[in-house]
């Protein structure tokens, strides 16, 4: 009875690619529970987000003015900034001169108060004073812009670029894909076999964004072409001696192995000696 065991590699749910990387958001909660991850060994781990969510891992509300786990609540800050997003609670941070839950009430004490650049009027303990605006910090007697990239709010595999006092841009490093907040390795092998010819080569993942093409078993690169071609059939037409082997030389053609050549030379020597004795 002949038996053959075949090992087939598969990714568990929540993992993707030939290296079985975790889906954005983690394998326990793919796409942060707000979408469907394209998992499996032949997939690329992309999240297909539900309608109200956005981001590479569906981690944001599609509408920046909404908040809450379901992104259904709407911010109503008038003169202030809303704590929005999936993890936000809708609270308002008022601009200078305003107060109240919705930042819609003027502060009478701030009327007529003029503040220096990058500062605004606030009321503390019943007294109006000037304090630095959001995104600025007091340095000496002036308010200087804080570096929004220190510490970096981006993925460890991304570069943070300062665009303004409170604005920045996250860009995934080479070999990674995502929105900068979430960056995952690029596995070239999951897309069209990494560009390798599917009938003769196997795509082998090396590192993020890099892969190589390796000839399938039973095939090799044949000079002068770099194409992978089958080689066993070239030797099947030759019936070598038990002491010899058929090999494929550097020109890609069959040739006799060394063991046969050595036996042949030994035979010639013995034959020459026998002939000389006869003479």
254 has a pLDDT exceeding 80: no
Q: What is the pLDDT of residues 155-177, one digit of tens each?
A: 999 999 999 888 999 999 999 99
Structure tokens at 146: 């804080």
Q: What is the pTM of this model?
A: 0.71
| Domain ranges for the chain | 10-62, 219-267
Structure tokens at 160: 């943070």
pLDDT band at residue 259, thresholds of 50, 70 and 90? very low
Instruction: Give backbone dihedrals phi and psi of 21, rounded to 5 degrees, phi first.
Output: -75, 155
Structure tokens at 149: 């990239």
Contact between residue 46 and residue 20 where contact means Cβ atoms under 8 Å apart: no
Q: Which among 187, 180, 233 is positioned nearest to 208, based on CA atoms?
A: 187
Which of residues 264 and 206 earns the better pLDDT score? 206
Paired strand residues for 220: 229
250 has a pLDDT exceeding 70: no
Instruction: Write down the pLDDT at residue 219.
Output: 84
Q: Is 130 helix (H, G, I), strand (E, B) or coil?
A: strand
Mean pLDDT confidence for 141-154: 93
pLDDT band at residue 265, thresholds of 50, 70 and 90? low
Q: What is the pLDDT of residues 215-246, one digit of tens each?
A: 988 788 877 777 888 765 555 555 566 667 66
Contact between residue 155 and residue 172 where contact means Cβ atoms under 8 Å apart: yes
Instruction: Give backbone dihedrals phi and psi of 246, rounded to 5 degrees, phi first.
Output: -100, 125
Class of domain 10-62 as given by CATH: mainly beta
Instruction: Write down the pLDDT at residue 141.
Output: 86
pLDDT band at residue 206, thresholds of 50, 70 and 90? very high
Contact between residue 190 and residue 207 where contact means Cβ atoms under 8 Å apart: no
pLDDT band at residue 261, thresholds of 50, 70 and 90? very low
Contact between residue 48 and residue 39 where contact means Cβ atoms under 8 Å apart: no
Q: Which among 64, 10, 65, 68 is positioned nearest to 42, based on CA atoms?
A: 10
Instruction: Give backbone dihedrals phi and psi of 117, rounded to 5 degrees, phi first.
Output: -55, 140
Q: Is 21 helix (H, G, I), strand (E, B) or coil?
A: strand
pLDDT band at residue 60, thresholds of 50, 70 and 90? very high
DSSP-derived letter for residue 40 is: B
Query: How far is residue 86's CA from residue 130's CA, in Å, rounded to a whole number?
Result: 33
């Amino acid at each position: 009875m002949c038996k053959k065991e075949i090992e087939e590699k598969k990714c568990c749910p929540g993992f993707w690619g030939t290296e079985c990387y975790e889906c954005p958001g983690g394998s326990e909660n793919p796409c942060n529970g707000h979408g469907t991850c394209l998992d499996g060994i032949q997939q690329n781990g992309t999240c297909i987000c539900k309608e109200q969510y956005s981001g590479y891992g569906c981690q944001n509300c599609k509408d920046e003015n909404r908040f809450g786990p379901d992104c259904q609540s709407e911010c109503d800050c008038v003169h202030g900034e809303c704590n929005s997003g999936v993890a936000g609670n809708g609270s308002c941070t008022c601009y200078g001169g305003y107060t109240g839950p919705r930042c819609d009430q003027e502060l009478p004490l701030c009327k007529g108060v003029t503040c220096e650049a990058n500062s605004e009027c606030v009321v503390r303990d019943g007294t109006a004073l000037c304090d630095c605006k959001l995104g600025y910090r007091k340095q000496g007697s002036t308010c200087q812009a804080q570096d929004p990239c220190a510490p970096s709010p981006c993925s460890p595999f991304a570069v943070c670029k300062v665009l303004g006092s409170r604005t920045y841009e996250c860009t995934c490093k080479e070999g990674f894909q995502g929105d900068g907040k979430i960056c995952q390795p690029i596995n070239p092998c999951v897309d069209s076999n990494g560009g390798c010819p599917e009938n003769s080569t196997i795509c082998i993942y090396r590192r993020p964004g890099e892969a190589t093409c390796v000839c399938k078993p039973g095939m090799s690169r044949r000079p002068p072409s770099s194409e992978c071609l089958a080689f066993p059939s070239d030797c099947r037409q030759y019936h070598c001696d038990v002491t010899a082997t058929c090999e494929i030389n550097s020109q890609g053609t069959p040739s006799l192995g060394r063991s046969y050549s050595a036996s042949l030379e030994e035979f010639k020597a013995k034959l020459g000696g026998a002939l000389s004795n006869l003479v």
